[in-house]
Amino acid sequence: MGSKRAHFAVVLCLLLATQLQAAKPKPLSNRVSAILSDSDLTRGFWGIEVVSLKTGKVLYSQNPDKLFTPASNTKLFTTAAALALIGPDYSFRTTVETTGTLDKHGRLTGDLVLVGRGDPNLSGRELPYALRTQRNDHPIRVLEQLADALVQQGVKYVDGDIVADDSYFAFERYGEGWSQDDLVWADGAPVSALTINDNVVFVSILPADRAGERAFVSITPFADYYHIDNRIITTPSGTGRKIFINREPGSTQLTLWGNMPLDDAGANEALAIEDPAEFAAELFRQLLETRGIVVYGRQRTRHTELASLSTFTVTATAPARGGDEPARNLPNQPLVLASNQSKPLIDDLHVINKVSQNLHAEILLRLLGREKGTAGTVEGGLEVLRGFLNRAGVPADQYAFYDGSGLSRQNLATPHAIVQLLSYAASQPWGTSFRDTLPLAGVDGSLAERFKNLLVQGRVYGKTGSLGGVKTLSGYATTDSGDQVAFSILSNNFNLPDKRVTDTIDSIVGAILNDGAKSK
């Protein structure tokens, strides 16, 4: 009888052990391998690293030291460096200045100069960021307020020119390795220290009243900036929409062709402008003249050409800290007639990372060079970035950057470099602020429509990245057991639908979160 009881006890113990084993999830390495085992996924390249922030232990890695195209994961490096080196409270100042004089009759002798110092939000964007980017109906409100201030100052005549000055940064509108196809669209908008409305115009296309007629095309703000060649024909209802847009580099000729059906609700596109300072000069002159200010001169731009930087030095006419020093505190200082102070930099860092705003990230890179390096150039910013990453413990041979946004196809980074940056940031006083700039799973930014599962929602802060054949996601996550981890998932060289790769990345994140605590 005793032997039967003993046998039963052994069987029961084995059964319980089997059940516990079944309840316990497989090791993370097994779960990730199973996710990536499909043949369509094995033809591309995967780089992954997951590290516990508490212990520093590597929980999983696959090709952690291989170089990948990071796409917009590049923004993690740019924004972290800016938060650490420039600080969350930095403010940009935009001014209207003159070296001439304003007499009692309202006549301004000399040029009227609109000076940009990198403010990326001279637009209709609402700040601070709240769940999504919101724009009001006044994309040029700041310029209008500056023009109104000149009227209040008594300016009635300008004997000189209207000058748009973006010399705070060098005249480097595009990054190395950017695709020509990107330059027409908002994602590839030119970079300038004087940026109005994200350096884009909004093109609205509506069907005509009858089939066979040309569609209606309108542009805001500043409808006269582009010369429009509209060849879009309105077609009968139900025929489907096909619209094509072309602008050659260096041109302000916009060609649109295709068809739009009668029952179409209309299309809207944000198209990049050619020269931001020139755009600002023409627009500002128009605003002044609308207010009754007579301008006798012409409009023109003032750039800092790269070739001149060997002799370029920071002077009192181009003060640091966004130009927030008082005017005329030194001899020969310009007279500031109107000014605008931006919201704190941290507000824009949320915009950059939440919605992956390329132009603002590029401005930030040049700001790093201007404020903490040798010049407001791409290379000046990258030099500062390399110094920051060295202090953060990111190996120099595990990244190569050519821009600040990730639009460049020449950028490279390893999963380990990204995780090391994230781990370093988490240990810094500004770490929580940095984490909060990232999209929150299932809640906002570029992750608003992902991770809708309630068990995952709100537990992942991650920066997305996307180029043709490239999908990436890196950030922070809280596992089922409460462990805080930093992770990087980089995928390259895929010829698959975007959703297929995105779903795979999300499945890997799910595997990272499921470390067994809620299975017990």
Tell me if residue 479 falls in helix, strand or coil. coil
Residue 137 pLDDT: 84
Tell me if residue 456 falls in helix, strand or coil. coil
Q: Across residues 263-286, what is the average pLDDT?
A: 95
Amino acid in position 494: F
Ordered by where they begin, the domains of the chain are 28-86+344-519 (3.40.710.10), 91-173+276-343 (3.50.80.20), 182-274 (no CATH)
Alpha-carbon torsion angle 97, 101, 102, 104, nearest 10:
160
Average pLDDT, the chain: 91
Rounded Cα distance between 140 and 136, Å, is 10
The answer to whether the beta carbons of residues 221 and 139 sit under 8 Å apart is yes
Residue 327 pLDDT: 43
Residue 462: CB atoms within 10 Å: 29
Q: Across residues 268-280, what is the average pLDDT?
A: 95
Q: Is the pLDDT of residue 377 over 90?
A: yes
Q: Is the pLDDT of residue 322 over 70?
A: no
Q: At what angle do helices 74-85 and 415-426 cross, to 10 degrees?
A: 30
Task: Give the pLDDT confidence of 477-493 residue by residue, as tens digits.
Answer: 999 999 999 999 999 99
